[in-house]
Structure 1
Amino acid sequence: MTACETAPALAAIPAIRHGFFGRSGGVSTGDFAGLNVSWSVGDDPLVVEQNRRRVEEAIGAGKLVILRQVHSARVETVTGPVDPSSREADAMVTATPGLALAILTADCTPILFADPAAGVIGAAHAGWRGAVDGVVGNVVAAMTALGADPARIRAAYGPTISGPNYEVGEGFKRDFLALHPDGGRHFHTPPGGQPHFDLPGFVEARLRAAGVTTIERVGACTYAHPERYFSHRHATHRGTRTGRQIAVIGLTQV
């Protein structure tokens, strides 16, 4: 079976299946070696489909729902199967069993959400742009509209680039602080270097601001572990290409 990393708080919910997959267990080769699930990076589409099927089988919660991610804060409420990449958004929620909400990343932060009492789940792609623009709060609001309670929501965020490896520069820091004046703690500047941004730390802060109190981190830094995860920044620094890994959550059929 294709292996994945899981969050204990989500794994404890009987009606939910979830997983944060890395690059192991797939059939892609070359720069995309492993479990690449993206059509848009130059991999063979037939191979990508094989990798996606492996993920579906490993999760066992129905057909993957994959959006066309554009680094936005938009959230889709999903009630049935969706043609892959036919909807443009960066997060989704559902209360419908048999749908496996899937997020593709290669340094950005994947977040999975569940309110077990309400039977509502969500998934978000939180790059810096989406996180700054409010994708986390938008997911919690969309789940609440389906009957969830922020105080009951359990959230887990998966493999993502860490602050020590995410150099952003003074311009980024200035623009960020104009939108989030209290966010200076999410930056550090090494001696003689440029500011670095703690994306997962900021994501966790936005989860808490949205009323979520059960939050778990799963996996490691994508940039620091290119043998385990796809990392866009690591590949760019080495003049190569890379794939995309996937995070999935689904409600099982009852």
Structure 2
Amino acid sequence: MTASPTHRPVRMVFTTRAGGASASPYESFNLAHHVGDDPTAVDANRARLADSLGLTPGALVWMEQLHTNTVTVVDSAQSDPVEATDALVTTTPGLALAVLVADCVPLLLADQANGVVAAVHAGRMGARNGIVPATVAKMVELGAQPSGIQAVMGAAAAGRNYEVPQEMADDVERRLPGSRTRTSQGTWGIDVRAGLIRQLMSLGITAIESDPRCTIEDDDFFSYRRQGTTGRQAGVVWLNSEV
């Protein structure tokens, strides 16, 4: 895991697959309950994540991610995942928004001046169908300014390895310009992060950082495309209530 310094108004964290309690094929820091892992191991991993971040496990808010373009505003902790949503937005300090991925793009957004943060599950379908513009619009409703939003993307499937049929690449390109690409083998592919960078800039967001690592080729991360049955790493963002 890597984290920003403790006393920043906003904190953002991305996990890897290392350092947890889960056994193969979920070894070892799997944070997802829906993939078939031992629930006790997942709970232990989530508790370790919260402890390492200086949070209580109840401060973490998870999603029932379904590759939709649905955005949900949350203002309090809850024990169950937020149903049928692929983005969470909050203005509540200390409430940590979590997104689970294993090739999809984990996108964290924050306007620290106006106190609005979001966690977005930007998979191929969600990104194609506008989950990011919908999230930014919701943040603006809550007082954020696009020029003040910082966007950080974690490790995800890179275009050089994300092979798809040409029809799919063309379809996503029409909805998410800049995402169609060629793989290292010369076949058609999709680079979701490249498309999202262009989309974020079109929305007025220019403070953009993107982890270039590819989950498909890097064993430090879970990858559905590489393994099929596997765990999930997370991106987490929250407003620091200690500042």
TM over 0.5: yes
CA RMSD, 1 decimal: 1.9
Task: Give 1:200 deviation, angstroms.
Answer: 1.1
2:229 is the counterpart of 1:229 = no
Contact 1:11 1:18 in 2 (8 A): no
In structure 2, runs of 5+ residues without a counterpart are: none
Query: Following the alignment from structure 2 to structure 1, what is the Cα–Cα distance between the partners of residues 41 and 91?
Result: 31
Give yes or no for the alignment of 1:118 onto 2:110. Answer: no
- Unaligned stretches of 5+ residues in structure 1: none
CA contact (8 A) 1:17 1:61 kept: no
CA distance in 1, matches of 2:174, 2:22: 42
Match of 1:28 among 14, 22, 25: 22
Q: Distance in 1 between matches of 2:115 and 2:145?
A: 11
Matched ranges for 1:8-19 at <5 A: 14-19=8-13
Aligned to 1:244: 232
Shift of 1:194: 2.9
Runs of 4+ with deviation above 4 angstroms? 10-13
2:207 paired residue among 206, 214, 219? 214
- Percent identity reads 37
Deviation at 1:185, TM superposition (A): 6.3
Determine if contact 1:61/1:252 at 8 Å carries over to the other structure. no
Deviations 1:34-89, CA, capped at 9 Å, x for gaps: 11011111100011011011111122245110010000111101111123324210
Match 1:142 to one of 126, 133, 138: 138
Q: 2: distance between equivalents of 1:13 and 1:138?
A: 30
Counterpart Cα distance in 1 of 2:183 and 2:22: 37
Cα distance in 1, alignment partners of residues 213 and 172 from structure 2? 25
* Aligned-partner SS, 1:247: strand
Q: Quote the Cα distance in structure 1 between the aligned partners of 2:78 and 2:14.
A: 21
Take 1:214 and 1:130, find their aligned partners in 2: how far apart are those partners?
A: 22
Q: Which AA in structure 2 matches 1:204?
A: I
Q: Once the 2 structures are TM-superposed, how far is the Cα of residue 217 of structure 1 from its aligned partner?
A: 1.3
Partner SS, residue 121 of structure 1: strand
TM-score, normalized by length of structure 1? 0.88
